[in-house]
Amino acid sequence: MSLELMAPLMFGGLVVFLLLGYPVAFSLAFTGLFFGVVGMQLGLLHPSLLQALPERVLGIMANSTLLAIPFFTLMGLILERSGMAEDLLDTIGQLFGSIRGGIAYAVVFVGALLAATTGVVAASVLAMGLISLPVMMRYGYDKRLASGVIAASGTLAQIIPPSLVLIVLADQMGTSVGDLYEGALIPGLTLTGFYALYVLVVSIVKPAAAPGCPPEARTLRGRALALKVLTSMVPPLVLIFLVLGTIFIGVATPTEGGAMGASGALLMALAKRKLGWDLLKQAVESTATMTSFVIFILVGSTVFSLVFRGVNGDLWVEHLLSGLPGGALGFLIVVNLLIFFLAFFLDYFEIAFIMVPLLAPVAQKLGIDLVWFGVLLAVNMQTSFLHPPFGFALFYLRSVAPKSIRTADIYWGAVPFVCIQALMVTIVIAFPGIVTSHVSKAAGAIGGSAAEELRRQLGAPAGAGEAPKDDAAAQIDRMLKQEK
Amino acid sequence: MNKLLKFCSLVDRANERIGRAAAWLGLLAVIVCAVNAVVRYAFNLSSNAWLELQWYLNAATFLLVAAWALKRNDHVRIDVIAGKLSLRAQACIDILGGLLMLLPACLIIAWYSWPSLVNSFHIQEHSSDPGGLIRWPVRLLIPVAFTLLALQGVSEVLKRIAYLRGLAPYPIEQHRQESA
């Protein structure tokens, strides 16, 4: 057998082994080791290749970007159980309730707010499914609209920083997490706008699907309501500042931002007297097991890619993808269709750990901006949460939705939002400016570069000023642009 | 078989204890990291030893929890096809997977990590950054974690064989958690 045959065989073998349904991490490691041993027996690989393994594992252990995964997970779990989402939904729902489609807007808005606070989809979907779905049903919302808008708004956590997907993507592509965060901000907010726009269109075309709530549904009015809105907005805004503010201003690395956010969430839960021993224990243990399986997939994929590169698999993929008609655009279209299709079966971290290391070098060779490419993939992968029948957001919603909502309703409800997602992918491809004009190139290259310094200086007044905290980042960038 | 099942429950309990204990190191990592960030910003102080402690703690968490996660069936699978098979067929897949995939992979990684650990201990290897921590304790985590994982793998295989022979219930506790 020749070396050229090894890479395709290895890739085919991986697909077969993964489909067997044994845990992904070990299937990956096994495929790598199996072909590694075969390659050595045939004299195609150097016998010392596998000796590099422990150093690779040590490299993953010492990776400070990946440290952010447990931090943000813990933060999300603590917030989920300390009732922040509930407070927000109650009050914002009252605020928007009377207009047509009001609760749906509230869900989109709270979804975006929660997304900017943590990076955890499950927390948002569960909370909104438990609180808003029954209310929407009571006032006669269309079941499909109600479930679709909840599932979709929950997935905003995947694209609006501080998202775990972006951390994992940045790590795999070798770009800075901060740059990806900044690049994803506008697309994420645009997407939020599209969701709201969709609710508006439905409420005009089919008014019966998205009614307003009758006046007696609003227990709070006037000053009492205004006060409640203000108090419920404080915790998320403080957390957003703690996490995103410190990252964008340049005070903290994303990893430190995660640690600050998790500590903030712990203190907040403590202040609200919601932080019991059981809650803490559960959150800590869930965080640890989740981190473990995610990082073990990375360990597995490292074993795989070590051998895959050894048999020149990277060159094979590059040859396959760079020879596509249409050059960079052809590559982007094929890659996006591929990921869209894979998202039916795989989670985002499986795609990120298996596919992205193969795709990123090709993208770079074709002269594609990696930050833009990363945001594009992130928007695309967001759909993996919404795809019937395996989308996680749909699973979570099913687990809390009342029986009167059929699974088919949840599936059909997600379809328009998957279409919006596809539209957004097209927009990002057509107008790279919404990602890249936002990110200063120089900042990505070296941490201490001039732009980063400038941002830090400009950041201080913006952060301390009157501007709402979540707008601080946008403001810094506006100022940065004027400087140029 | 009974003796073997006793071995299984011993391994299960040991790994659960280790896993539950190691999980708390993750919380410690959060606190260390947040304090590091605050201290650096407020007093312009930073110590490589404390910065390295963050990833030492996190590495210990995810490595030592892995075996317990395997027992809880938390490691992600692609169950598009396998999910539709009978429990017996799934047990067969897990037995084959455990023997042919998990065990060799764990043992190879544990085996290859040994020489670098011994070497690191002999030369008292330190981090290349000034004031950094000594390296062998984290290197030790690799063979320890993969040996624990291999033991758990053996236990999972044995429990499924017992299930196929009608001696024990299906060993998976179902609690899938969030993936984000």
Average pLDDT over residues A412-433: 92
DSSP alpha helix (H) spans, chain B:
2-43, 48-71, 87-96, 103-122, 136-164
| pLDDT under 50: residue ranges of chain B | 174-180
Q: What is the pLDDT of residue A373?
A: 94
Going by the DSSP 8-state scheme, the letter that residue A51 receives in this structure is: G
Are A173 and A360 in contact, with CB atoms under 8 Å apart?
A: yes
The answer to whether the Cβ–Cβ distance between B109 and A119 falls below 8 Å is: no
Specify the pLDDT at position A123: 73
CA-CA distances (angstroms) from residue A167 to A174, A225, A257, A400, B35? 10, 38, 12, 29, 22
CB pair distance less than 8 Å for B78 and A346: yes
What rounded mean pLDDT belongs to chain A?
82
Whether A20 sits inside 8 A of B82 (CB atoms) is yes
Q: What is the ipTM of this complex?
A: 0.91
Kindly state whether A121 is in contact with chain B, defined as any CB-CB distance less than 8 angstroms: yes
Tell me if chain B has a CB within 8 Å of the CB of A278. no
Q: What is the C-alpha separation between A4 and A26, in angstroms, rounded?
A: 25
Q: What pLDDT shows up at residue B150?
A: 95
**Cβ A383 vs Cβ A421: under 8 Å:** yes
Q: Hey, are the CB atoms on B78 and A297 less than 8 Å from each other?
A: no
Query: Do A296 and B105 lie within an 8 Å CB cutoff?
Result: no
What does the pLDDT read at residue A439?
Answer: 65
Task: Give the pLDDT of residue A18.
Answer: 86
* Mean pLDDT computed over A380-397: 82
- Which region among A14-18, A263-267, A467-471 has the lowest average model confidence (pLDDT)? A467-471
Contacts of A157 (CB under 8 A, 6+ apart): A111, A114, A115, A118, A119, A120, A121, A123, A124, A163, B180
Contacts with A122 from chain B: Cβ below 8 Å: 177-180
What is the least distance, in Å, from the CA of A309 to any CA of chain B? 18
What's the token pair of residue A181? 């965060």
Name every chain A residue with its beta carbon within 8 A of the beta carbon of B89. Answer: none
Query: Which pLDDT score, from 0 to 100, does residue A452 have?
Result: 39
B154 Cα to chain A: minimum distance (Å): 14
- Please determine, for residue A474, whether its predicted confidence score (pLDDT) is greater than 60: no
Residues of B in Cβ contact (< 8 Å) with A288 = 19, 22-23, 26, 61-62, 65
B168 three-class SS: coil
Closest chain B residue by Cα to residue A260: B34
Residue A148, pLDDT above cutoff 90: yes
Helix (H, G, I), strand (E, B) or coil at B134: strand
Separation of alpha carbons A357 and A174, rounded Å: 10
Residue A345 forms contact with B (CB below 8 Å)? yes
Contact check, Cβ <8 Å, B37/A260: yes
pTM, whole model, 2 decimals?
0.82
Picking from A253, A99, A194, A151, the residue whose alpha carbon sits closest to that of residue A427 is A194
Cβ of residue A368 closer than 8 Å to a chain B Cβ = no
Closest residue to A54, CB basis, from B27, B33, B116: B116
Residue A146, helix vs strand vs coil: helix
Residues A306 and A64 sit within 8 Å (Cβ to Cβ): no
Q: What CA–CA distances, in Å, run from B166 to A432, A483, B85, B88, B170?
A: 60, 74, 18, 11, 9
Q: Is B62's CB within 8 Å of A58's CB?
A: no
| A398 φ, ψ (degrees, to nearest 5) | -60, -40
Per-residue pLDDT of A63-84, as tens digits, reads 888 888 899 889 888 887 887 7
3-class secondary-structure state, position B44: coil
Are B49 and B132 in contact, with CB atoms under 8 Å apart? Answer: yes
Q: Residues of A with CB below 8 A from B58's CB?
A: 61, 66-67, 70, 291
Q: State the sign of the Cα–Cα–Cα–Cα dihedral A291, A292, A293, A294.
A: positive
Q: Which of A20, A57, A385 sits opposite B109 (nearest CB)?
A: A57
In chain A, % of residues over pLDDT 90: 24
Q: For A179-230, give the DSSP string.
A: HHHHHHHHHHHHHHHHHHHHHHHHHHH-GGGSPPPPGGG----HHHHHHHHH
What the block records as the tokens of A351 is 């795609």
- pLDDT band (50, 70, 90) for residue A463: very low
Higher pLDDT, A438 or B7: B7
Q: Do A24 and B75 touch (CB under 8 A)?
A: yes
Task: Report the chain B residue with the minimal C-alpha distance to residue A122.
Answer: B178
Lowest mean pLDDT, pick from A115-129, A268-282, B5-19, B85-99:
A115-129
In tens, the pLDDT along A193-240 reads 999 999 999 999 998 888 887 776 667 667 788 888 888 888 888 888
Residues in contact with A48: Cβ distance below 8 Å, sequence separation at least 6, in sequence order: none
**A227-232: long-range pairs with CB below 8 Å, 24+:** A228/A91, A228/A94, A229/A91, A229/A92, A229/A95, A232/A87, A232/A88, A232/A90, A232/A91, A232/A92
> Coil, helix or strand for A391?
coil
Chain A hits for B22, CB-CB cut-off 8 Å, are: 288
State the best of A18, A61, A249, A280 to mutate against chain B, taking most chain B CBs within 10 Å: A61
Residue partners of B97: CB distance under 8 A and separation at least 6: A20, A22, A23, A26, A27
Q: Which residues of chain A are within 8 Å of residue B101 when distances are taken between CB atoms?
A: 17, 22, 26-27, 29-30
* Contact flag A262-B94 (C-beta cutoff 8 Å): no
- CB-nearest to B78 from A21, A55, A57 is A21
**From the CA of B162, how many Å to the nearest CA of chain A?**
19
Please name the residues in contact with A130: beta carbons below 8 A apart, sequence gap of 6 or more. A400
CA dist A154 and A334 (Å) reads 28
What residue of A is the nearest CA neighbor of B30?
A259
**Cβ-nearest to B61 among A51, A291, A350:** A291
> Å from A5 to nearest chain B CA?
23
pLDDT at A195: 96
Contact A120 B55 (CB under 8 A): no
In this predicted structure, the answer to whether residue A456 has a pLDDT above a threshold of 50 is no
* Whether the predicted pLDDT of A128 surpasses 70: yes
- pLDDT tens figures, A284-313: 998 999 889 889 988 998 899 889 988 888
Of A252, A288, A385, the CB nearest to B26: A288
CA–CA min distance A327, chain B (Å)? 33
At residue A184 the predicted structure's pLDDT band, cuts being 50, 70 and 90, is very high
Residues of B in contact with A262 (CB under 8 A): 30, 34
Closest residue by Cα to residue B180 from A167, A130, A238: A167
Q: Does A436 touch chain B (CB under 8 A)?
A: no
Tally the C-alpha atoms within 13 A of residue A279's C-alpha that lie toward its C-beta: 17
Between A360 and B172, the more confident residue is A360
pLDDT above 80: residue A97: no
Contact A65/B at CB under 8 A: no
Q: What is the DSSP letter of A156?
A: G
Closest listed residue to residue A68, CA positions, set A218, A185, A169: A169
Closest CB to B65 among A280, A288, A303: A288
Work out the end-to-end distance of chain B between its first and last CA atoms, rounded to an integer number of angstroms: 40
CA distance A284 to B19: 11
- H helices present in A383-471, as ranges: 392-400, 407-430, 433-436, 441-445, 450-464
**Any chain B CB within 8 A of the CB of A260?**
yes
Q: Does residue A251 sit at the B interface (CB-CB below 8 Å)?
A: yes
Note the pLDDT of residue A472: 41
Measured between beta carbons, which residues in chain B are less than 8 angstroms from residue A349? Answer: 179
Local confidence band at A247 (pLDDT 50, 70, 90 cut-offs): confident
| pLDDT mean over A117-135 | 80
